[in-house]
Structure 1
Amino acid sequence: MSAMYEKLVDILGNHFAVDRGTITPEATFEDLKMDSLFLVEFLLVIQSEFDVKLEDDAATLTDTIGHVAHLLEDRTKATAQ
């Protein structure tokens, strides 16, 4: 797994008390029993943690954790350039 994915797992586990055993790259936010309010909070934490700007619709409940990790990898690379 990528370092970004591992950081997201840490955020989900530490900030939101999601059972790490349920988190996989293919897991969606729906799979993790999260709602739209959770997703908004999660995106806010990510923006703060990684100093990136994400649109409100950057992720949906049907997106996977792996998808969000790739999105962040792309955004942080673009910010670094």
Structure 2
Amino acid sequence: MTPQPLAERIPVLLHEHFEVSKDLVRPEATFEELNMDSLAMAELLAIIEDEERVSLPETIPGIGPRSTLADTEQTITRILAEAHASTTAPAEGSAGAPAPVTDDSVPARAGTTGPRR
């Protein structure tokens, strides 16, 4: 797990991997405003997966083109906390039903080709 909070890492990742201007990266900015399509969003999630050494769900409800960076950070932080907790806690039966898919859901790994350089 990376020690720097995700809220501080997302702006850096957007700038370094996707050439998003630092001036445009603010908590209320949406992926749509940053001209990031679903493939770029999936690549961002793949980068976070690699850094955190966890697998994110195939789809993440609530993360889509109109999601703000702040909402995305909160959602991913929650998922990462659960993932890290599950790797340290003993398994207790079934994980339950999968999360519902919404129109704003973006596949976490669909079509990823790795980070842009």
- Residue-by-residue CA offset, 1:12-37 (whole Å, 9 max, x unaligned): 11111111110111111001011111
Output the CA distance in 2 between the equivalents of 1:54 and 1:64: 19
Aligned position for 1:57: 59
Provide the aligned length of Structure 1 versus Structure 2.
80
Task: Tell me whether 1:33 sits opposite 2:35 in the alignment.
Answer: yes
Aligned position for 1:73: 77
Which structure dedicates a bigger proportion of its chain to helix?
A: 1
Output the CA distance in 2 between the equivalents of 1:77 and 1:43: 15
Deviates more, 1:54-63 or 1:6-15: 54-63
Output the CA distance in 2 between the equivalents of 1:74 and 1:8: 15
Correspondence for 1:20 among 19, 22, 28: 22
State the one-letter code of the partner of 1:39: M
3-state SS of paired residue (2:23): helix
Please say which structure displays the higher CA radius of gyration: 2
- State the identity as a percent: 29
Q: CA RMSD in A?
A: 1.8
Does the aligned pair in 2 maintain the 1:52–1:75 contact within 8 Å?
no
Output the CA distance in 2 between the equivalents of 1:55 and 1:78: 11
Moved over 4 A (4+): none
Correspondence for 2:45 among 34, 37, 43: 43
Structure 2 residue runs of 5 or longer lacking an equivalent are 86-117
Structure 1 residue runs of 5 or longer lacking an equivalent are none
TM-score between both structures, scaled by the size of structure 1: 0.83
State the one-letter code of the partner of 1:23: V
3-state SS of paired residue (2:27): coil
TM-score between both structures, scaled by the size of structure 2: 0.60
